[in-house]
Amino acid sequence: MAQLAINGGAKTIDRPLGKKWPIFDEREEQALIEVLHSGLWWRGGARGEQPSKVTQFEDAFAAYQDAQFGVAVTNGTTALECALKAAGVGVGDEVLAPALTFVASATAIALVNGIPVFVDVDPKTFNIDPDAMEAAITPRTKAAVVVHNGGYPADMDRIHALAQAHGITVIEDAAHAHGSEWRGKRVGALSGLGSFSFQAFKQLTAGEGGIVITNDQDLAEKAFSYHNIGRIPGRPFYEFHRLASNLRMTEWQGAILLAQLSRLDEQVATRERNTAYLAQGLREIEGVAPIERDDRVTRWSFYYWNFFYDQAGFDGVPRDRFLEAVRAEGAPINVGAHGRPIYRNPIFETMDNIAGVPVDFREVECPTAEHLFANVALSLSHTVFLGEQEDMDLILEAIRKVRAHVSELT
Ligand SMILES: Cc1ncc(COP(=O)(O)O)c(C=O)c1O
């Protein structure tokens, strides 16, 4: 008789795991009511002109990420665009970006008229591979977008050294990494500038939102100007200095984000505890494995938690077949690392110029990214790790069951 749920057997997990997202309580309610009654629903043209939740949040979040300056914006994509503009990226400038990430990490480059150069990833971390980065650098390389995929910090020692040696600005796309640390310092402003997303599913959210952070005052002033239609603080309100859009965050978002931030440390601690337990359990099952954490990753906060599938360890069963089976058991495991290599999206397959500069991405091939996406990458949402250890046991039980009955899948 069939044992696996996919073949009609009993399901291992019959309830949702972790916590329903988003999480909120009277802190968010009070903060929103406060904004409502204040009548100040936007920050205004400059910092410090009026009491502002956005300004408070910028300061609090920048400090949380060990940065001096923060510029809150509408979302993580515009945060990247704003950071790239502040870094001076323009027509024909090459910008390195990992092949495996959310598409915005590369479309933001093209949106500011830069040329994305897709770089392969490290099979042990899913992050941009510093050796491949080095090989991709040319005299036209202006910057690098470094994504901390699944919140796991990229090798910032190597990346910072490369950036210094070649005069490249690093933009950390930390959309998954609120609270992550490299060598005891929070990510985002470790090198040049960093961007974050506060979109609905992220571990810090206002439904939409983003921020640029940096320790460089000049870059911070440029980012502020680019987020505010090209205004410069101290100059007349109707005087514009840069070609720039309006990326300003509303006070509603600032209020929600301040409340969300008050919960983040506790949530990171719960996730760290549960992932350590799950990782240990995965090590004991043939065919799956966690990322083996580098000692320099002193805190790992994540949007989703990446781990590995090994087809050989599952008697040759393809990753996607395993996923169907384990999901049928009720374990909410997904394809990891944000799906296909991003140059495989129609937007890049059909793009033939960026601001008049000819491009052709059809021949791009990053073999490690292709293999990870197609055969290896697995992930679990951060919300799954906000529950009890019992939830981790259920996930392990579901995987063990599929492993024990793998012959039913062939
Ligand atoms: C790595 C990465 N960069 C940028 C973004 C864009 O953020 P947003 O959706 O807030 O525009 C995302 C969104 O998921 C992301 O995962």
CB 204 within 8 A of CB 178: yes
> Rounded CA gap, 137 and 150, in Å?
25
> Rounded CA gap, 38 and 163, in Å?
45
Percent of the chain with pLDDT over 90: 96
Mean pLDDT, range 198-211, rounded to an integer: 98
> Rounded CA gap, 382 and 166, in Å?
36
Q: What is the CATH number of the domain that holds 314?
A: 3.90.1150.10
- Tell me, using a 6 A CB cutoff, whether residue 253 lines ligand 1: no
Pick from 301, 315, 308, 296: nearest CA to 337: 308
Q: What is the CATH number of the domain that holds 57?
A: 3.40.640.10
57 and 89: one domain?
yes
Flag whether 397 is in a domain: yes
Q: Which atom of ligand 1 is closest in space to residue 80's alpha carbon?
A: 4
- Tell me, using a 6 A CB cutoff, whether residue 114 lines ligand 1: no
Of 122-136, 285-299, 326-340, the poorest mean pLDDT is in 326-340
**What are the Cα distances from residue 142, in Å, to 171, 192, 268?**
11, 12, 34
pLDDT higher than threshold 80 for residue 337: no
* DSSP-assigned letter for residue 299: B
1 pLDDT band, cuts 50/70/90, is: confident
Of 197, 202, 334, which is best to mutate to test ligand 1, by the most ligand atoms within 8 angstroms of its C-beta?
197
User: What average pLDDT does the structure give for the chain?
Assistant: 97
Helices (H) and strands (E) in the chain, counts: 12, 15
- Tell me, using a 6 A CB cutoff, whether residue 129 lines ligand 1: no
44 pLDDT band, cuts 50/70/90, is: confident
pLDDT higher than threshold 90 for residue 330: yes
pLDDT of residue 45: 79
* DSSP-assigned letter for residue 204: S
Q: What range defines the domain where residue 145 resides?
A: 26-260
Flag whether 94 is in a domain: yes
> Rounded CA gap, 220 and 86, in Å?
8
Flag whether 19 is in a domain: no
- What are the tokens at 405? 């009955």
pLDDT of residue 334: 97
- Tell me, using a 6 A CB cutoff, whether residue 76 lines ligand 1: yes
Q: Which helix (H) or strand (E) holds 72?
A: strand 69-73
Flag whether 393 is in a domain: yes
pLDDT of residue 257: 98
Flag whether 166 is in a domain: yes
pLDDT of residue 410: 86
Mean pLDDT, range 120-141, rounded to an integer: 98
189 and 249: one domain?
yes
- Tell me, using a 6 A CB cutoff, whether residue 77 lines ligand 1: yes
253 and 294: one domain?
no
**Of 234, 260, 286, which one is at a domain's C-terminal end?**
260
Flag whether 17 is in a domain: no
Q: Which atom of ligand 1 is closest in space to residue 147's alpha carbon?
A: 1
Flag whether 20 is in a domain: no
Task: List the catalytic residues.
Answer: 202
Q: 13: CA distance to ligand 1 center in Å?
A: 31
Q: Which atom of ligand 1 is closest in space to residue 338's alpha carbon?
A: 16
Pick from 273, 258, 245: nearest CA to 209: 258
Q: Report the number of distinct structural domains present in the chain.
A: 2
Q: 11: CA distance to ligand 1 center in Å?
A: 34
Q: Which atom of ligand 1 is closest in space to residue 197's alpha carbon?
A: 10
- Tell me, using a 6 A CB cutoff, whether residue 205 lines ligand 1: no
249 and 342: one domain?
no
**What are the Cα distances from residue 30, in Å, to 34, 35, 37, 246, 256?**
6, 9, 11, 28, 10
Bridge partners, 377 (sequence order): 308
**Of 218, 243, 260, which one is at a domain's C-terminal end?**
260
Of 158-167, 170-179, 337-346, 376-385, the poorest mean pLDDT is in 337-346
**Of 220, 237, 260, which one is at a domain's C-terminal end?**
260
> Rounded CA gap, 302 and 264, in Å?
11
190 and 314: one domain?
no
CB 145 within 8 A of CB 105: yes
* DSSP-assigned letter for residue 376: I
